[in-house]
Amino acid sequence: MLRCPMIRSMLVVRRLLLDLRAAIAVEFALVMPILLLFLLGIIQFGSAFFVQNNMLNTARELARRLAIDQLAVQDAERWAIDRLPSISSNYRVVVTPPDPNDPDANFFRVVINVPLADAVIVDPLGMFRSGDLRAEVFNTVAE
C-alpha cells in the first residue's frame, strides 16, 4: 500500500482521467445547455409561426366574407376573434370598409395584431417581450 499522499492523489487523478464515463458526463454538462437553448428557440419560433399563420388565414377568410357580403362589418371583429387560437386574449382586429367617396378604394382592409409576448409559449430569455405579430389583407369588393 502506498503511504505517500502525493503518489496516492496522482493515482486517483490518473484513474479519473482515464475513466471515459467522467469524460462523457463533462461533455454532456457542457453541451446540454446549448441544446436546450436550441430546443426552446425552436418551440418559440414554432409557436409564433403557428399564431401568425392562423392570423393570416383568419384575415383572408374575414376579408373574403366581407367582400361578398356574407358578414357585416360590425360582426367582423367577434367573428375573427372566435376563430383565432386561444393562446392570447389580446387580439386586435381592425376592419376598414371601402370608402364610398373614393371610386378607386373598392377594397376591404383587415388587420389583425397580437403582442408577440402572447404568441410564444415559453420565453426564458425575454427575447419576445416587445413587438407585435401582424397580419394584413386587402380584398376587393365583389360587384
**For each of the chain's 143 residues, which pLDDT tens digit applies?**
556 777 777 777 777 667 667 778 888 889 999 999 888 888 888 888 999 999 999 999 999 999 888 989 899 999 999 999 888 888 999 999 888 887 777 888 999 999 988 888 877 777 777 889 999 999 887 66
Rounded Cα distance, 82 and 62, in Å: 12
Q: Is 44 exposed, middle or buried (0-12, 13-18, 19+ CB in 10 A)?
A: buried
Q: What's the pTM?
A: 0.75
Q: With H, G, I as helix, E, B as strand and everything else as coil, classify residue 132.
A: strand
Distances from the Cα of 10 to the Cαs of 1, 4, 25, in angstroms? 14, 10, 21
Res 40: pLDDT: 85
Res 108: pLDDT: 87
Number of domains in the chain: 1
Distances from the Cα of 104 to the Cαs of 36, 98, 128, 140, 142, in angstroms? 53, 9, 39, 10, 14
Which residue blocks in 68-126 are alpha helix, DSSP H?
Answer: 73-83, 116-119
Q: How many residues does the chain have?
A: 143
The domain containing residue 18 runs over which residues?
5-140
Distances from the Cα of 19 to the Cαs of 13, 24, 27, in angstroms? 10, 9, 13
Beta strands in the chain (DSSP E): 92-96, 107-115, 132-140
| 8 A C-beta contact, residue 96 and residue 89 | no
